[in-house]
Amino acid sequence: MNWLFALIYVLSAPFLGGLIAGIDLKITARMQGRQGPPIVQPFYDVIKLLHKEVSVVNRAEMFLVVMFLLFMIATGVIFFSGGDLLLVIFALTLASIFLLTASYSTNSPYSNLGADRELLAMMAYEPMVLFTAMGFYMASKTFSVSGICASSLPAIVYLPGIFVGFVFILAFKFRKSPFDLSASHHAHQELVSGLNTEFSGPTLAIVEITHWYENVMLLGLVYLFFAWNSSVSPFLGLAACLLVYFLEILMDNSFARVRWKWALKTVWILTATVGFLNLVILSLIL
């Protein structure tokens, strides 16, 4: 049954991720007083990119971008098949490193600047990601995703601080303001497309599809905080995913991008307080 969930992820995540991206665009437009594009606009954009001529700066670029896609799919397969959460975290990080290396390989000033900021972003959020994995282990005594889902109580009961910290760093992972340091999706910012500047045509389409896979995977981690052995779990988990993503959109449209020093300092302080403090309290009560 667990492998069925993994297969569903592989087949449906691009469609679900694209739909989420379209809803994001629509809500963002309404928040800004605009009509906005149709919800299926991200699919139109990707199809248009796939029909363009393949143009890459070097042979390594396409290889690294494809590896980014494959490792992101592998990350989701491990997670949705009920595998080891620590392995999921490591695979997710490795996938990001492939994208980072692909951007560096282009030798473009904008791409290199975006890659530098992506590296800084990873330095900011990775400690909180590791704390999240540690928190799940301390709360359920296992790194197994299926074991966590079979717990008698949802992890959120034991990990409220970890949850707050994880939701905070999702702004980095979703590339939302105020922490869209490396690949701004707002045209007025000086980064242009930052990390993605030199990607075009099918290469950029692969990057976009991979982000759709990644977003579904990250929302799966949000769901995991509310997963336990109860029939109420799916409804509560899905409601939490919808609320968290809406909060990310709201934050994206309420704050301008911050400087990287402020981002590092803020996330590390939050990680050291709500994240680490939650783990300390958990070690004392369990």
* pLDDT tens string 9-24: 999 999 999 999 999 9
The residue among 12 and 1 whose pLDDT is bigger is: 12
Q: How confident is the model at residue 185 (pLDDT cuts 50, 70, 90)?
A: low
C-alpha count within 13 angstroms, C-beta hemisphere, residue 284: 6
Task: Provide the pLDDT for residue 9.
Answer: 95
Smallest Cα–Cα separation from 193: which of 114, 95, 98, 99? Answer: 114
User: In DSSP terms, which residues pair with 69 in a beta bridge?
Assistant: none
Tokens standing for residue 8: 């569903």
Average pLDDT of span 130-145: 93
Task: Provide the pLDDT for residue 260.
Answer: 77
Q: How far apart are CA 83 and CA 80, in angstroms?
A: 7
Domain span holding position 279: 2-144+151-285
pLDDT (tens digit, 9 = 90+) per residue, 225-238? 999 999 999 999 99
pLDDT (tens digit, 9 = 90+) per residue, 51-99? 988 877 788 888 999 999 999 999 999 999 999 999 999 999 999 999 9
Q: Is the distance from CB of 103 to CB of 112 less than 8 angstroms?
A: yes
What average pLDDT does the structure give for the chain? 89
Tokens standing for residue 109: 């000033």
pLDDT (tens digit, 9 = 90+) per residue, 27-64? 999 998 888 889 999 999 999 999 988 877 788 888 99
Return the DSSP state at 96.
H
Query: How many distinct structural domains can be found in the chain?
Result: 1
pLDDT over 90 percentage in the chain: 60
Task: Provide the pLDDT for residue 1.
Answer: 59
CA distances from residue 148 to 111, 227, 250, 286 in whole angstroms, order as listed: 39, 7, 30, 16
* 153: number of Cβ within 10 Å: 12
Task: Provide the pLDDT for residue 3.
Answer: 84
Q: How far apart are CA 261 and CA 249, in angstroms?
A: 23
Task: Provide the pLDDT for residue 188.
Answer: 46
